[in-house]
Amino acid sequence: MNAELEQAVAYFADPGAVVRPFGGPGIGAARDPSEPSRWRRRMAQRIAQLCEADRFGVKAIYLLGNTVNGLDGPEGELELLVVFDGTERQRQELETWLRGWNAALTETNNFRTGLNLEHILVCRFLGPEAADKKTAAAKLNLPEESLVELPLRSSFSGRMKRAGFPSDS
């Protein structure tokens, strides 16, 4: 209802359909309930692809939580497990980088859903002893299938070697 114009707006949807709040992207469009999980999974894959593992001391990144089985909604968290084997400085740089991702994801989710959440990205850290999936799951008391390993991008020097450039060593 717009009180200044003394007008109201209504839209029709199928019974039981989830609709976006008026004024948001895709006004009045029914949403696929699995869409938030798919979006979060894509964002998790992107984080892993862009993570400079050597620079940050990252050995592995796993997706966990409701995103793995497609059960999270627009207000859900994107949970990552980061296997870390680096210095304190690397950890600080990694956490700063991940805070930037959280800010971007939270803002994007707000534009997509109209929900103003404090955070979306939640990261847990384990040491290098949990580099394999089975050990990481055991450390968290979770079944192994509740973790999805995300491929990390290869190091810069590895990409340079594959491209035919000589190594520094």
> What are the structural domains, with CATH classification, of the chain?
55-152 (3.30.460)
CB-neighbour burial class of residue 21 (10 A; exposed 0-12, middle 13-18, buried 19+):
exposed
pLDDT of residue 24: 46
104-122 average pLDDT score: 92
Q: CA-CA distance, 83 to 129, in Å (whole number)?
A: 8
Q: CA-CA distance, 29 to 21, in Å (whole number)?
A: 9
126-155 average pLDDT score: 91
Q: Which 3 state secondary structure label does DSSP give 96? A: helix
pLDDT of residue 169: 44
pLDDT class for 153, splitting at 50, 70, 90?
confident
Percent of the chain with pLDDT over 70: 73
Q: Check residues 80 and 168 and name the one with the higher pLDDT.
A: 80
Q: Would you say the pTM of this structure is higher than 0.85?
A: no
For residue 81, which of 144, 138, 148 has the smallest C-alpha distance? 148
- pLDDT tens track for 19-78: 555 444 444 444 677 788 899 999 999 999 999 999 999 999 999 988 888 888 888 899
Q: Check residues 155 and 76 and name the one with the higher pLDDT.
A: 76
Q: How many Cα neighbours within 13 Å face the side chain of 12? A: 0
- Which residues neighbour 92 within 8 Å (Cβ) at sequence distance 6 or greater? none
pLDDT, averaged across the chain: 83
pLDDT of residue 69: 87
pLDDT of residue 84: 97
Q: Does residue 11 have a pLDDT over 80? A: no
